[in-house]
Each structure stands twice: as structure tokens, then as C-alpha cells.
Amino acid sequence: MPKVVNRYVLVSVGCVCLALWPAPSSAYRPFDATDAAVADLGELEIEFGPVQFRRSAGETTVIAPAYVFNYGFAKDWEVVLEGQAEHPLAGEDTRSRLVGNGLFLKNVLREGSLQEKTGPSIATEFGVLLPGINDEHGVGASWLGIVSQRWDWGTVHFDAGAALTRDHNPDLFVGTIIEGPYEWKLRPVAEIDYEREFDTKETVAVLAGTIWRVSDDLALDFAVREAWVNRHPETEVRAGLTFAISAQKDAAALATRFWGH
């Protein structure tokens, strides 16, 4: 086989392999709130919780899996698809269900410390609450504003938003995330949230955990979330990983390596 054909074959194979290889990621598990950052252009960030657990007064539930896909389709813009499968082990209804489904757009309004610039990073996220399977019937809408600031000692993210639930009830949400120093490989994290679905449900939640930055392209997380839903306690154990796929960048880098320009 001619050398030029060999080169084309090697580049093609390398591009396919690198398209499946994780790239640096900044998506945000294990929180309920989020940060004022988006996936880079052409990058798919994946937040994945393979197995998690929730325990409330009358129900024990296995959550497997929980997922969020973030795709950067333009500069400072990403599209977000999320949801989770729940499998009740006890309670009145033990059917498996797909809930928490949503399709959103997220935009960085101001580039700041999360984008390696000065001052706060500011973003907004808005979209549609999609119906579930065996639960959460109907369609809703939500809007969220996000402000993030990173210092040497740590990072703070503040979220505030409103929604029209799938049952067409007004809903308000506020949440704050506090992280330890970003440069630490293993950094402690915490979160406190308040949500009120008017005339239906009020939730206060606190979360404590850690994020382990294994490498530039992989982060693992673990957290325990304690919530009070209409004053009834609820405990959730969360564990998962975050990584990203960036076919464009990796293919370009490989082509440059082989062709020398």
C-alpha cells in the first residue's frame, strides 16, 4: 500500500479513537444547581451517575442511571439534555420510571473567572420540562440565572430561577454551591437549596461531598444530600463521573501531528 494511503488510514483510525477519548471537562455533578460555564464549541460533556440511592419515609429508590448531556454548539452556548431512571424498591408504586427529563439552552452572558478572565461569570439557562414515563406527565418550562466567582480559596456559584411545572404550578428555586480550591485534586464541596412549588411542595436541601479530579479529562464525585420535603426527611447518596468528548479538537490535533501543519 502506498505511504500516502497508509497515512490517510492512520489518520482516520486515530480520529475515530480520539473521538471516543475523554477531553477536559467542567460539567457539574453532583449538585442540583449549576455553574456559569458551558461546553466548548464542538464538545460533548457527559455527567453520569451509574447507581445512586434515595430513601424517604415510605420509599427506597435506586436511581440508575442519572445523566446530563451538554453539547457546545456555538461560542458561549450549549444545549442540555437530562433525565434519570428510578426504580422504587418499596412503596405504593414500584414500577420503574423515567423522570426529571428536560431540554435546555445555556448561554454565558459574561465571561469571568470560570473562563480565566476577571470578575464574575454570568450565565442563563432556559428550556422545556419534558414528560416522563410512569410519572411526571405533562410539559413545563423553566428559567435559571447563574453567577459564579472563583478565588484562590475556592469557588461560589449562586443560582436563582423560576418554572412552570408539568402540573402548571408556579415554582421558585434558589441555590448556592461552595467549593474548595480548584487546584486541589480532591476538593470538598457543599450546597444549600430552597425550592417552592406553590400550593404543593416545599423543599430545603443541603449537600456535602467531594470532587476528585483524577486527571484533566476525568472527575469523580461523591456526595450525600439531606432534604426536607414538606418537612419530611429524605436522604440521597450520589456518586458519578464527568468527562467530555471533543472530536473536532482531537481530530485536528492528530492531523497536525501527522501532517506537520
The CATH number linked to 195 is 2.40.160.40
- The structure's pTM equals 0.85
**11 in any annotated domain:** no
Digitized pLDDT (tens) for each residue of the chain, 261 residues in all: 444 334 433 334 343 333 333 444 445 899 999 999 999 999 999 999 999 999 998 789 999 999 999 999 999 999 999 999 999 997 778 899 999 999 999 999 999 999 999 999 999 999 999 999 999 999 999 999 999 999 999 999 999 999 999 999 999 999 999 999 999 999 999 999 999 999 999 999 999 999 999 987 789 999 999 999 999 999 999 999 999 888 655 545 544 555 555
Q: How many domains does the chain have?
A: 1
Q: Is there a domain that residue 174 lies in?
A: yes
User: Judging by beta carbons within 10 Å of its beta carbon (0-12, 13-18, 19+), is residue 47 exposed, middle or buried?
Assistant: buried
Residue 258 maps to a domain: no
Residue 212 makes CB contacts below 8 A (sequence gap 6+) with 185, 186, 219, 220, 221
> pLDDT of 199-228, one tens digit each?
999 999 999 999 999 987 789 999 999 999
- Domain assignment present for 109: yes
202, 203, 206 from 225: Cα distances, Å: 16, 12, 6
Q: pLDDT value at position 256?
A: 54
Tell me what pLDDT residue 93 has. 82
The rounded distance, in Å, linking the Cα atoms of 115 and 138 is 37
Task: Give residue 57's pLDDT.
Answer: 81
pLDDT digits (tens, 9 = 90+) for 18-62: 333 344 444 589 999 999 999 999 999 999 999 999 999 878 999
Domain that holds residue 80: 28-244
On whether residue 255 sits in a domain, the answer given is no
Considering the domain boundaries, does residue 250 fall inside one?
no
Answer yes or no: is 14 within a domain.
Answer: no
Q: Which DSSP string do the residues of the chain spell out, in sequence order?
A: --HHHHHHHHHHHHHHHHHTSEE------S-SS--S--PPBT-EEEEEESSEEEEETTEEEEEEEEEEEEEEEETTEEEEEEEEEEEEEESS----EEEEEEEEEEEEEE--GGGTSSS-EEEEEEEEE---BSS--S-EEEEEEEEEEE-SS-EEEEEEEEEE-TTS-EEEEEEEEEE--TT-SEEEEEEEEEEEETTTEEEEEEEEEEEEEEETTEEEEEEEEEEEETTEEEEEEEEEEEEEE-HHHHHHHHHHHHH--
CB 27 within 8 A of CB 35: no
Residue 107 resides in a domain: yes
